[in-house]
A = this chain, B = another copy of it.
């Protein structure tokens, strides 16, 4: 590895056309099969962020994981399909050869000061320094790219198939090593939660994310105020059945500012 931060290495793109950027997979971000989906989503977001025609900052972002990304290079096509006075609508896709691996949409907008309120209030939790790091060694490489301090709902102590009846996790998390928060890393951090069914059932079933949506509440000034600090992530499953389940999650900074809300659907096998 070079001196660059592994996340910056991960999202590095080269422009390859008006709406086309080239990226690649990285050993530092490997998951069980293929790359960490959060990095893939962040690469797609980065293609929008570096697009010369971008208007404003991310508001909403949805990515559908259509097929496994093979190790190596890929093309990201990020295109502003509709530009209004203060808003812009995007399509984005990741291609390897002629195969679509990811497709999604995004909305960016020039924001302005208005009335504001965080109705989703950060739960009362001990500060990061009082929450120990997990003892277990990560099973996959990308997990080492994050410092995760589980307040509740960490990995099961025993994978004994007992249904604990809920899947609530609260975790302090930040890049490892620390890196100032930006929209790309907030995208990746929105995918940092391990699958809810593993927690709820204490059972290791094969699965994968099929779709993720991120709503960005943070503006540049909240990203700056967060800096390299921790985010509090909270997530919980909603419905499990017929091969799929979803979760809903929130991310706050240490000051309690809501930065993002996010949802996902996973497929699972049993």
Contact = CB atoms under 8 A, between A and B. Distances in A.
A54 to B, nearest CB: 16
A82 interface: yes
Interface in A17-75: 59-60, 62, 64, 66-67
A241 B218 CA distance: 9
A205 to B, nearest CB: 9
Nearest to A219: B242
A226 interface: no
Most B C-beta atoms less than 10 A away, residue of A116, A217, A239 = A239
Interface stretch (A105-113, A128-136, A144-152, A172-180): A105-113
Contact of A109 (B112, B243, B269): B243
A207 to B, nearest CB: 11
Contact of A64 (B66, B67, B105, B239): B105
A270 interface: yes
A81 to B, nearest CB: 5
Contact of A217 (B116, B167, B239, B268): B239
Interface in A214-253: 215, 217, 219, 236-244, 246, 248, 250
